[in-house]
Structure 1
Amino acid sequence: MKIRIKGNSIRYRLTKSEVETLAETGYYREETEFPHRTFAYAIKADNGTQELDVDFSADTITMYFNRDKSAAWPKNDVVGFSPEIKTSNGITLCLLLEKDFVCMDNTAEDQSDNYPNPKLAK
């Protein structure tokens, strides 16, 4: 799972196996180890979430994803979800959860578990 944060925008990209793990177990998490702390980001299927929601606590960003949508996601062609939510102080936070496609340019990154890029289809 990849994370990108810019200002008030958070984006998660998940590979095929990560999308399947989320659908099967309801949870997926990654960690980055720092010398004295660990930063984590996770996604959790949740019955009470309409589409996406997010929380930050204990050095972890947790994105909550509707359980029914997470269960159906590996089997459908939906690329992603992108709601905007209002924080308690009225700021708009943009969330994006999407399937990770194979890059169009050459990259040294292993992309064997990524979804086929529709722009590369002939």
Structure 2
Amino acid sequence: MKIRIKGDSVRFRLTQSEVKTLSESGEIYDSTNFGTTKFNYGVVLKSDIEQLHINFENSSIILSMPEANGRSWFSNDIITFDHTLKTTDGNNLYLLLEKDFTCLDNTIEDQSDNYPNPKLS
């Protein structure tokens, strides 16, 4: 699972096995250890929401996805889900959850579990 944060935009990218785990178990988590602090992040399915939602507390970012969408995501061709969330401060926070495709250029990261890039066919 990858997270990209830029300004008021948060993007999560999931590999094939991560989408499958999310669809089957309803949650997926990962973390980055900074030595004295661990940064946690994940995606969870929730039955009581209709759009993507996000929470940041206790050094954790958790993206919530509507359960109906998440349970079938692995078995369908939908690539992305997005939503612009109005925060309590009044600003817009853009959320994007997507399947992770292989890169078009050479990269050193392992991409064996990424979705095939449609631009390569």
Is the TM-score greater than 0.5? yes
Residue identity in the other structure for 1:104:
L
C-alpha distance in 2 between matches for 1:26 and 1:72: 11
* Matched residue, 1:8: 8
* Matched residue, 2:75: 75
- Superposition pairs of residues 57-96 of structure 1, within 5 angstroms: 57-96=57-96
TM-score relative to the length of structure 2? 0.98
- Superposition pairs of residues 18-97 of structure 1, within 5 angstroms: 18-97=18-97
* Matched residue, 2:104: 104
Consecutive unaligned residues of structure 2, counting only runs of 5 or more, are none
Residue identity (%): 47
C-alpha distance in 1 between matches for 2:31 and 2:109: 18
C-alpha distance in 1 between matches for 2:28 and 2:41: 9
Shift of 1:58: 0.9
Q: Secondary structure at the match of 1:83?
A: strand
C-alpha distance in 1 between matches for 2:35 and 2:108: 27
Q: How many equivalent residue pairs?
A: 121
Q: What RMSD over aligned residues (CA atoms) do the two structures have, in Å? A: 0.7
Structure 1 residue ranges (4+ consecutive) displaced by more than 6 angstroms after TM superposition? none
C-alpha distance in 2 between matches for 1:102 and 1:37: 31
Q: Secondary structure at the match of 2:21?
A: helix
TM-score relative to the length of structure 1? 0.97
Consecutive unaligned residues of structure 1, counting only runs of 5 or more, are none
C-alpha distance in 2 between matches for 1:45 and 1:120: 31
CA offsets, 1:42-83, max 9 Å, x none?
A: 100000111200000111000000111001101111110111
